[in-house]
Amino acid sequence: MRTKPDFWKGAERICWLCVFMEEFIGTNSLEYAPVVMSGMASILNAPAFAQARQAIFNMRQMSLAYVTHQSVKHAIALYNNYHYSNNTQGTYEIDIETLQFKRTDALEDSLITKARQILSTSLPYDTYGFTVADPRQPMAVALGEDSTSVKLDIPRISAPIAARRTHSLNRQPRGKICIPLKELRDLAREMDKREQQDPERRLGNWADRFERFDLMVSEAGKGLRKEDDVLELEDIKHLIGLPGSGKTTLLVLIAVWLGLHDYKAMFVFPSIEVARQYMADLAFHQVKVGMLVGQGDETRRRHADNIAEAIATTGNNGGFAYSLEQAEVFGLNCVLPAFSTADMSLWGFGYAPCNEILQGGGKQGKMKKCLCPLWTMCGRNKAQRDLLDANIWVGHVRSLDTQISPHATYEQLRYFELIARTFDLVVFDEGDMVQKVLDDYGAATLSISGSEHSIHRVILEQIHNRFARGENYRLFDRDIELYSRDLAEFGNHNTSLITTIHNMSASRVKERYENQLLTVLRIVSELLNIFKKSTKPDEIDEQEVKTEVTRSRALAEFWEKAAYNAFYDRTGVNNPQDFKADFWPHYIGINRETLEQEWNTLIQHFRRYLAENLIKHRDAIVQEIIALFFKLCFPKHQLTIEAEDLIKLLITVTFVILGYQRIVPGTRTMVAEGFIREPIVESTASPELRKFIPESILGSFSGVQYSFFKAQTTRTAARNMELSYITFVGAPRMLMHRFHRLLEADNGQASPAILITSATSFLQASPAYHINAGPHYLLKARQPKNHTSAKSIYRFKWFPDSQQGDQPLLYSGAGDPNLQKRNLQLMVDALVKGGTTKSEIYKAMNKFDVKSDIRRKAALVVNSYDQARDIKKYINNYYPDIGRYTKAVVNSLKEGEQPKDFVTSAQCEALGDDENCDILIFPLLAIGRGVNIVFTKGERKLDAAIGSIYFLTRPHPTKDDMQLLYSLTGRATQEFDSRVFSETEDLNAIATAWRQSRKDLWLTANRLLREPLMASRLGTELFKSFTANQMVAILQTIGRGMRNGCPVSVYFVDAAWAKKSTEGKPDSGRDSMLVQMRIILEECVNHKDPVIREIYQELYGAFLKPLQHIQGVTYPDELHSLEESADEEAGFDDFSTILEM
């Protein structure tokens, strides 16, 4: 965190933006401030702003408030109101309508001069004001934040305590790293010798593994060549390691080499468990290594539980008298109670007041908060302490966004910034998965009401309660009075929404929309589908979809603009000017005069709704709104209970969104002033990280979500409800892509080199997993001399439902959960009936790739842990002879479940040699990256243990899944961030390009959120992106059966994989995921760039060949689908007015 200047605070903070725009951007308007403040590297590096780079960086560090027009206008209103109330003049005169500004005094203002100097130079860091408590003097600990909390005395500590040490910010990255491959080869031999001297250690065979792959380098315009001399790491490098090619081997050797040569490097892994395994290997080979892990209470507890489970499942004694290497870095408990003679029964497990030790000081002896002197010794903080000496750090990507403890630094900063300033290299292993995790990290979930951490509770405790108990002196500030009133109304709208949902008892609306993102467009689209007959996916007409999309957008815009006018103009003084006379009437299907009259009537209804307090009168107004809007949607239908409930939901959701929109700018100001704490936001980028990454190109797109939970009452059916607000907060994927230039704008600060590695990180059709850099290196496994190339086989093996006239058994698309479960069980019946000799699954295992009488295993791939558990129990109950040789992967064992039946992901690697396991059941993503199920001994050593893979379900996320939107938003943001503007493009041209990129993504987002996520409704281009995202996990799963060059037999069992083929008709790329997968891969291997073409061939050739000859799928004569046709008509707003915060 950088130090903020001590002038132009509060309402006058907008002056900083004026100085910035006038002095550095060269304009006297704030119209384009959100564009310049967006944090986009393309804007930061634009020639037009060459002299403003440091100022742009500093403005982002000082405030994230000015990234929307709404927030800029709010800041102007605060500024003008402040000077109006105090009868004063500010440094600038700012027009809130035109956004133009000018200096109040034509002469140079000294504050402007000072501000210009501050924005031109690097900002210093804020420092912590803590001191370490003196252990030789009495201390105390408060068990709570209140003044009445219990305090426990800690007497003087006479034991020797290590001195405090801190990280240094003075170290500089060393630049380009050149690693001779000969030195890695020699290092591998040394590591083998060291391991051979430890009889209890499992041998790594590093030298042998190093000779099993070739390092290929891409040469522009030519292709790939073998590199024999050196691995060069500079700027950003992308290395693709094919399955079983030795990526893990290379990463371990690189880490050891870097550690021995005194480099500092951060290795980011897909999970903390994988990081722990690397840490154990590196520590054994005498590398100074540390674990970077999140420090939140929930994070600590989760990691401790995971490590405890891994220990407990080892051996046959439930983990008794056993541990795992590096388990000690996950310590939980505080050691302070051991030094006290007080009653510690109230001290909760895991509670640790590391920064809140109370000790008297000064002349008055007043108690103040100090740092715990035992931090340098206690086990709870071992992981953080080890990092002070470690050359090599390992951890998960989210751990980068962790605040460094004041025990370990004097400056206030997070680990990602320390690493960016002082490290030489950052390695992102499984970079495609890291990118997906970061995309999810950019969606913030804010609890609005109904939980302990809700903003509703924050408002009551920190604002209204403070005023109510007498601390109301702040109300002399009229802006705080206004903010307080806005907060109160926001709380009222929350209450109205909760009441509305609770009272929906006669329709399915209440249950159907639980845990779904609700926007005006989504609810209007659902309303329009009420009277629509069920349509089969293959009967969907693209022109019909286009008409639906356009009409729903027009009605949603009609509703939004009416609500916006009523909400921000309660008295009707201003005549509404937003009616789209040439657009809405045509697409809504009502003549202009009638529709405009209805629009004005709707605005009046909304104003009355907002003003009315009596329940009876308000309900009557709601009925008038329902009647008016329903007739617009359905002129020829009668109102139904479901439609009535949907419009009630639409009303309350609309005003919750508008109420939240109005308090957001004020909340930002109050947080900045320290008047209230930052509202609790779950699983999202910290404000500090957001200052280093760009805003999402989609902007503050958002919606409301509700969920139920059981109420603690004697009413058995009673349920409470939690309201949440979901919104985008930046584009965290850019942290990985920008890390090598993260601080470049800050006085030219150097940053570490980046290495991104994965096996599936290069697939341009996938917005979630494609890494748009290079690739620069490819690891390719060498084929053994006696290797005979066996062919993989893919089959579309659907089963008929004999009870339903031999209809194909569907899981995806079956609709009813009970029918899905039934069909899944019938698929299992068809595979295992006949026992261990005559069943389909055992016959397949006995016939495919049997060598030295060693048979490979089969895998049943499903959608969830619950499905894996249910199928395992079903097999146990009905086919016990097969059940005893079947294991299911679950996230944790429930009471009564036995290790002989169920295993966790951490135990999967041991199944390769498990003779009591022939069949493994697991969800698609359950087995983590870097986990290999192989034979570890005998004639088939290192061969893939899984040889036959059955996809019982076609992968499909839940209907409320947002990952496709997150990934599309991340990709669009990255594309604009990577754009290069020319010297002729000025501020206006850059802003135009920014708006167009935003508009294009907004159209896509509208199409996605108009209805639940259904593959059949996506349209051609979105279905391609959807399939590409899903196929990465599919190919990763198939790749588990291809380790060490093994062939694999793959069965696609769910009829949804290729529905038309079950009828003897050809499937298209729009209907079948299998056909679309082939289309995507063929586009890859026929790429026009020779380097990319060769990389794609190496990556996906082994998957494409069997896919081209898959048995059971009828391909069309022409594979490629028609172009997308369901675009919306021009005429809509570029962005919704009620969604901009």
Whether 206 and 299 share a structural domain: yes
Whether 847 and 995 share a structural domain: no
Closest CA to 258 of 739, 738, 773, 753: 753
DSSP label at residue 450: S
- Is the confidence at residue 799, as pLDDT, over 90? yes
Say which CATH number the domain at 419 has: 3.40.50.300
* Sole residue written with tokens 């037009």: 48
What is the DSSP track for 404-423?
PPTTT-SB--BHHHHHHHH-
pLDDT reported for residue 709: 79
Its domain, for residue 253, covers 177-334+378-440+738-779
Q: Is residue 1064 part of a domain?
A: yes
pLDDT, tens digit, for every residue of 460-475?
777 777 777 777 776 7
**Distance between CA 425 and CA 627 in Å, rounded?**
64
Q: Is residue 1108 part of a domain?
A: no
Q: Is residue 84 part of a domain?
A: yes
Query: Residue 666 phi/psi, 5° resolution?
Result: -65, -40
The three-state secondary structure class of 903 is strand
Whether 539 and 573 share a structural domain: yes
Highest mean pLDDT among 127-131, 446-450, 841-845, 909-913: 841-845
pLDDT reported for residue 259: 96
**Distance between CA 813 and CA 405 in Å, rounded?**
50
Whether 145 and 110 share a structural domain: no
Q: Is residue 998 part of a domain?
A: yes
Whether the CB-CB separation of 18 and 101 falls below 8 Å is answered with: yes
Give the pLDDT band (50/70/90) at residue 694: very high
Whether 537 and 490 share a structural domain: yes
pLDDT reported for residue 222: 85
pLDDT reported for residue 1073: 92
Whether 116 and 133 share a structural domain: no
pLDDT, tens digit, for every residue of 723-755?
887 777 889 999 999 999 999 999 999 999 999
Q: Is residue 1135 part of a domain?
A: no
Residues in the chain, overall count: 1141
More confident: 298 or 952: 952
Of the residues 103, 120, 137, the one at which a domain ends: 120
pTM of the shown model: 0.89
Give the pLDDT band (50/70/90) at residue 510: confident
Whether 629 and 586 share a structural domain: yes
Give the pLDDT band (50/70/90) at residue 1040: confident
CA 59 to chain centroid, in Å, comes to 26
Closest CA to 749 of 423, 404, 1095, 1032: 423
Whether 554 and 690 share a structural domain: yes
Query: Residue 368 phi/psi, 5° resolution?
Result: -135, 160
| Residue 975 burial (C-beta neighbours within 10 Å; 0-12, 13-18, 19+) | middle
Closest CA to 39 of 671, 669, 730: 730
**Distance between CA 1038 and CA 949 in Å, rounded?**
7
Q: Is residue 2 part of a domain?
A: no
pLDDT reported for residue 960: 65
Query: Residue 11 phi/psi, 5° resolution?
Result: -65, -25
pLDDT reported for residue 95: 96
Whether 358 and 388 share a structural domain: no
Domain count, the chain: 6
The count of C-alpha atoms lying within 13 angstroms of the C-alpha of 542, restricted to the half-sphere facing its C-beta, is 12
pLDDT reported for residue 50: 94
- Is the confidence at residue 4, as pLDDT, over 50? yes
pLDDT, tens digit, for every residue of 607-646?
999 999 899 999 999 999 999 999 999 999 999 999 999 9
pLDDT reported for residue 958: 67
Residue 1081, CA distances (Å) to 763, 913, 1077 in order: 9, 34, 6
Q: Is residue 1075 part of a domain?
A: no
Whether 284 and 183 share a structural domain: yes
More confident: 1024 or 365: 1024
Angle between helix 615-633 and helix 520-528 axes, rounded to 10 deg: 60
Whether the CB-CB separation of 662 and 490 falls below 8 Å is answered with: yes
Q: Is residue 933 part of a domain?
A: yes
pLDDT, tens digit, for every residue of 580-613?
888 889 888 899 999 999 999 999 999 999 999 8
* Sole residue written with tokens 């490819």: 778
Whether 504 and 418 share a structural domain: no
Whether 182 and 98 share a structural domain: no
pLDDT reported for residue 537: 44
Strand order in the sheet with 902-903: 793-796, 1049-1052, 946-951, 857-862, 919-923, 886-889, 902-903
- Is the confidence at residue 547, as pLDDT, over 70? yes
